[in-house]
Structure formats: structure tokens, C-alpha cells
Amino acid sequence: MPVTAAATAAPAPAPADFEALRRQDPRIAEVILGETARQAEGLQLIAAENFTSPAVLAALGSPLANKYAEGYPGARHHGGCELVDAAERIAVERVKDLFGAEHANVQPHSGSSAVLAAYAALLRPGDTVLAMGLAYGGHLTHGSPSNFSGRWFDFVGYGVDAESGLINYDEVDALAHRDRPKAIVCGSISYPRHPDYAVFREIADEVGACLIADAAHPIGLVAGGAAPSPVPYADVVCATTHKVLRGPRGGMILCGADLAERIDRAVFPFSQGGAQMHTIAAKAVAFGEAATPAFGEYAHQVVANARVLADALAAEGLEVLTGGTDTHLIGVDPAPLGVDGRSARGRLAAAGLVLDTCALPYGDGRGIRLGTAAVTTQGMGEAEMGRIATLFAKAVRDGAEEGGELIGKVRAEVRELAGRFPPYPG
């Protein structure tokens, strides 16, 4: 049974519009149909993905996409913005209420743009920033040499304990005192536990650093009351709207009233031009959905499912990083099944289980990162998580060959399971 009302509504795009697209551009129509089918026929276990509601898709595909709107509501550089201004004001009010934030900026085009704006508001090029090292689950924007962050700032990375996989706060504290960063970033692409925001705040205060929470992953759980909120602790919270939060692809920033103006100017005009008003309207829709009791149930089910899936994968012999999860995220090392993360990902993809590799806290092999946000939106529950673990282990165990007979069998079972939980029934 689907967890949310949204998941039971009719699929988008509207059939009439789609027929027009198909006539005009059959090649692109074919890609969209194929991708829609691919998403429905496999198990989407990429921890950063989800299925937005038809209402969100409708806002995204609306003529608001035509509107230029540089600036902020009531202060735009273009005429005719009265109606899109209303959409942005609604989005801002809803997200402030949802997270109890004094100020919100809903314009960042992505999570990375939100982080760029946060750095621009708080730092100068050459400043030192302490963040989780990329080898342990830090994001590109946490100092990758191939990203603006690594080029413009001096990043110092904290890690996780090789044994427990947990953040070692003594190490964070020691690095902060040694390098005196201007900012400390907490948040990761794969850490399955809650950061201790209070401890991060304390360390930041001791060394006079500001605290940036990059909560792209857990923010949807926070919205649903299934994870602690960074809002009371961090100076600035950056997030995406498209992960567990289940909105359109995009970013957002929450902060106190004291930083409101600096954050707004760091987004526009410093790092972005015109706001994407169709996406902002879709964000408003998603924030409205996230404020419902059904979304709270969803967020708690996401975590319950992840716990069951982590336990079931451990029972299949996989090494579960940190010994479990508090979130939608699970990290596993498939080595005990005789395969590394990279080839496991290939075999799993061939079987229709779509997921990512991730850093391992030890050695230089790769693990597997998976998440339960999308399958939970489809209405899957704890029984299905056990089934997914069985299919996962079958696909990677015993030297199964990509495209081999066994993979084909698993693929058929995956298709049957997914087929019972259509993301867009109707």
C-alpha cells in the first residue's frame, strides 16, 4: 500500500501534452518513455534519488518556466513578476515554518550552488575550512581539487574511525584547534549516522569558526521529524530539495535573520542570475507536502526500512558500515561476498538494482551506498526490504557474471517486485 496520497495520483506529464511532444519530437519522447519505464521496472536504491509527486512534476512542467525573475519578490529586475513573486513568497514561508528557520533562500539551482553561496557569504578566497574528507564521504563542494571549493579555499579534512566508521569528534576538535578554520562544514554524501550538531557547534565556538551544515541528505528526514535538526545549531544550513525531501531538483539555504542579507546577495547577484520560477513553485508544492502528517509517516518509514535492510544485508554476510544506520543511507562492504564495490555495482545494475559505490573508511577499495527514500515512496515496507537484501546478495555472490543466467533470473524477480509498487500508478 502506498505510503502517501501523492503516490496514488495519476502520472505526469499530462497525456495530451505528451502526445504533442511525441508527434513533434519522437526521439526525445522515446527517451522519456524509456526512462519512465526504467525507473519503474528496477529498484531505485541510489540514496540521493526519490520520486516526486505528480503535483511537483506539474509545477515543473508549467509556463512558469518561461518567466525571467532576477532578484527577490517585490524587488525584481524584470516586469510581470507579481504572480511568480507569490510563488516564491509561499515557498519561503512554507520552508521557514517547516524547519523553524528565521530566513530562507529557495533560489539555489542545486545543492552545490547552495554551498557555493554559503561560502561566498561567510568566507574569502584562501580561507581555511574544516570539512569531512572526500575519502570518507565529503561532497565535491567540501574541497575537491576539481571543484571551486578546493581551488578557492584551503580545506582540511576530518575522517571517520577506521574501526567504527564513526566521526571521531576528538579529531575534529584537534584539527580545529590546530588549523583555526574560518568555517566548519558538517554533512556528507554517505555517512549513515546523525552528525552531533551540538558538538560541532561547541567546537566551532571554541575556535571562532562559523558552522555550515550541508544537510542535503537528511533534510527530508528532518522535515518529517525523523532526524535531529541542524537549524538550531548551524549558522547556515544548505540542502537539496530533491533527495529524501522529495521535491524538484534544486537547493535551498536556511539561516538566522542576521545573515539573511549576506546569504541573499551571495545567491543573487553573486553566484546566480534569474531564479527558476517553475522550480521554486515546485519547491513550494513539495514543502507543502512535507508539512503533512503523511510525510512524517513516510520519513519514519524510510528510516525503519533502512534499518531492516541494513540488518538483512548483514544477515546475507555483507559488512555494514558503522554497524547500521539512523537514516535512509546504508553503506556496505561487499568484500565478504568475494567482490569489490565497483564490480558489485555493475552486477547489481545488470539485475535492475540501481545504486552507487562509496568510500570505505579503511583501505582503498569501494563500498556500496544505497538508500530507501525512493522505494519507500513506492509504498514498500519492511517485508520488501528483506526481499531486496536477498536479491542483492544473489546478484553479487559466487562470481555471478554480468548478463549471465543468474543475473537474468534476479532481474526478473526485481521486475516482478517493482511491478507491484508502481511509482506513478494510474
Ligand X SMILES: *Cc1c(COP(=O)(O)O)cnc(C)c1O
| 278 marked among binding-site residues | no
- Binding to ligand X by residue 356, rule CB under 6 A? no
- Binding to ligand X by residue 189, rule CB under 6 A? yes
- Binding to ligand X by residue 110, rule CB under 6 A? yes
Piece of the chain touching ligand X by CB under 6 A; list 66-74, 187-195, 316-324, 362-370: 187-195
**C-alpha to C-alpha distance for 268 and 312, rounded to whole angstroms:** 47
Whole-angstrom distance between the N-terminal and C-terminal Cα of the chain? 14
**C-alpha to C-alpha distance for 230 and 168, rounded to whole angstroms:** 19
DSSP string, 63-100: GGGG----EETTEESSSS-HHHHHHHHHHHHHHHHHHT
57 to 260, 407, 422: CA distances (angstroms): 30, 33, 16
Nearer Cβ to ligand X (250/352) = 250
- Binding to ligand X by residue 214, rule CB under 6 A? yes
Quickly count helices (H) and strands (E) in the chain: 16, 15
Phi-psi label, residue 379: left if phi above 0, alpha if psi -120 to 50, beta otherwise: left
Nearer Cβ to ligand X (115/380) = 115
- Bridge partners of 213, per DSSP, are 186, 237
Question: Where is 239: in which H helix or E strand?
Answer: strand 236-240
Residues identified as active-site: 68, 70, 214, 240, 243, 249
| 134 marked among binding-site residues | yes
| 245 marked among binding-site residues | no
* Given 2, 42, 111, 218, the residue binding ligand X (CB under 6 A): 111
- Binding to ligand X by residue 217, rule CB under 6 A? yes
**C-alpha to C-alpha distance for 154 and 341, rounded to whole angstroms:** 31
- Binding to ligand X by residue 112, rule CB under 6 A? yes
* Given 159, 187, 218, 371, the residue binding ligand X (CB under 6 A): 187
Q: How many residues bind ligand X (CB under 6 A)?
A: 15
DSSP state of 320: E
| 60 marked among binding-site residues | no
**Segment 119 to 148, residues that bind ligand X, using CB under 6 A:** 139, 141
- What single-letter amino acid sits at 260? A
- Binding to ligand X by residue 213, rule CB under 6 A? no
Cβ neighbours of residue 168 under 8 Å, at least 6 residues apart? 158, 159, 160, 161
Q: Least distance from C-beta 413 to ligand X, angstroms?
A: 30
Could you tell me which residues are annotated as the binding site for (6S)-5,6,7,8-tetrahydrofolate?
134, 138-140
Could you tell me which residues are annotated as the binding site?
134, 138-140
Binding residues vs ligand X (CB under 6 A)? 48, 110-112, 115, 139, 141, 187-189, 214, 216-217, 240, 251
